[in-house]
Amino acid sequence: MKLLNDHLKEEYGCKVYKLSLQLNVTCPVRDGRLDTRGCIFCSEGGSGDFAACRNKSVTEQIAEAKERVLAKAGTHAKYIAYFQSFTNTYGDTDYLERSYREAMEPDDIVALSIGTRPDCISDEMLDILGKLNKIKPVWIELGLQTIHPESAHYIRRGYELSVYDECVDRLRKKGITVIVHVILGLPGESHEDMKESVRYVCASGVQGIKLQLLHVLKGTDLYQDYLQGKVPVMSMEEYMELLSELLPLIPDDVVIHRLTGDGPKRLLAAPLWTADKKRVLNEIKKLTEQ
Ligand code: SF4
């Protein structure tokens, strides 16, 4: 099992921090191309509620984000510029390319990480990403969430599994690092279903995986279903049990980027135990050190 922090330490010889940045973008599940309601679990912040303010330039956002981690990071740390919220390859290509380049410019930014969807990477965008990947590593984070069609329909993902497969193939042909998000605890999914998703992702030729426990955030349609008793919520013990089943399925060449979710406290409706980050991380540490 390889965790992201260990992988980055090996690669760069020091701790590497992710700086969450925002672009002026939306996504096809919100702008009407596929839907206007957003994915069922997604908050208004577009799954990036901790990111910096999108009205500021990328350079300003980087400076502010660094300021926030300075006490922990010190002056010799390295960083990854992370465009997390919404669909960061969806929009005006010139604007996007300019923004990516601006984010990669500083010497202490060692990689660019871009959160997006597999149905939103045009050939033109792929060429841009391929070019940038020759300057500094480009990571593409794909929100797959599940391989199961019923769950994909429930969350309003809006694309088929074959679109994911094809996208991974195109990105890998350009040598781009691919990281895939999987949500654990979607309504109706058994442990076996989740194992199938993790196995599938690990066998699909990607370099990283993010496992995120389903968070019910206030203001989302998922919250409405939760209030009606349609969304079962795992206890911490159940979640740790599930992780202990999933972790052995992940080979060492697929780096584990995350083992829990990071929903903002002010919006979190359930499971509330996840707000106690320290306790959760301690439990996860016990698991990963076994
Ligand atoms: S999860 Fe991503 S694709 Fe879905 S609504 Fe949120 S920003 Fe859009």
**CATH at 237:** 3.20.20.70
Ligand 1, from 47, 116, 215: best to mutate by most atoms within 8 Å of Cβ?
Answer: 47
pLDDT range class, residue 50, cuts 50, 70, 90: low
Average pLDDT over residues 151-177: 98
Q: How big is the chain, counted in residues?
A: 290
Residue 11: count of CB within 10 angstroms of its CB:
14
Question: What per-residue confidence (pLDDT) applies to 261?
Answer: 78
- For strands 268-270 and 216-217, give the pairing: antiparallel
Q: Collapse the DSSP code of 46 into the 3-class scheme (helix H, G, I; strand E, B; otherwise coil) and give the result.
A: coil
State the closest ligand 1 atom to the C-alpha of 43, by its place in the atom list counted from 1.
Answer: 6
- Residue 48 CA to ligand 1 centre (angstroms): 10
Contact yes or no for 59/102 (Cβ under 8 A): yes
- Residue 197 CA to ligand 1 centre (angstroms): 19
State the closest ligand 1 atom to the C-alpha of 46, by its place in the atom list counted from 1.
Answer: 7
Q: Give pLDDT tens digits for 240-262.
A: 999 999 999 999 999 999 998 77
The verdict on whether omega for the bond into residue 251 sits within 30 degrees of 0, i.e. cis, is no
Question: What per-residue confidence (pLDDT) applies to 159?
Answer: 98
Q: Give pLDDT tens digits for 187-242.
A: 999 999 999 999 999 999 999 999 999 999 999 999 999 999 999 999 999 999 99
Q: What range defines the domain where residue 173 resides?
A: 4-288
Q: Whose CA is nearest to atom 8 of ligand 1?
A: 27
Q: Whose CA is nearest to atom 5 of ligand 1?
A: 38
pLDDT range class, residue 71, cuts 50, 70, 90: confident
- pTM of the entire structure? 0.96
Q: Does residue 141 register a pLDDT over 90?
A: yes
Name 18's bridge partners.
Answer: 80
Ligand 1, from 20, 23, 27, 151: best to mutate by most atoms within 8 Å of Cβ?
Answer: 27
Q: Does residue 53 register a pLDDT over 80?
A: no
CA 183 and chain centroid, separation: 10
Question: What per-residue confidence (pLDDT) applies to 221?
Answer: 97
Give the whole-angstrom CA distance, residue 117 versus residue 98: 20
Name 3's bridge partners.
Answer: 256
State the closest ligand 1 atom to the C-alpha of 85, by its place in the atom list counted from 1.
Answer: 7
CA 18 and chain centroid, separation: 12
Least confident of 26-35, 52-61, 233-242: 52-61
Percent share of the chain, pLDDT over 90: 87
Ligand 1 is surrounded, with C-beta below 6 A, by 27, 29-30, 38-39, 42, 46-47, 86-87, 117, 143
Q: Which has the higher per-residue pLDDT, 14 or 225?
A: 225
Q: Whose CA is nearest to atom 7 of ligand 1?
A: 86
Provide the domain count of the chain.
1
- Residue 156 CA to ligand 1 centre (angstroms): 9
Contact yes or no for 73/108 (Cβ under 8 A): no
State the closest ligand 1 atom to the C-alpha of 27, by its place in the atom list counted from 1.
Answer: 8
State the closest ligand 1 atom to the C-alpha of 38, by its place in the atom list counted from 1.
Answer: 5
Dihedral sign of CA atoms 89, 94, 95, 100 in order: positive
Local structure of residue 231 (DSSP, 8 states): S
Ligand 1, from 22, 85, 87: best to mutate by most atoms within 8 Å of Cβ?
Answer: 87
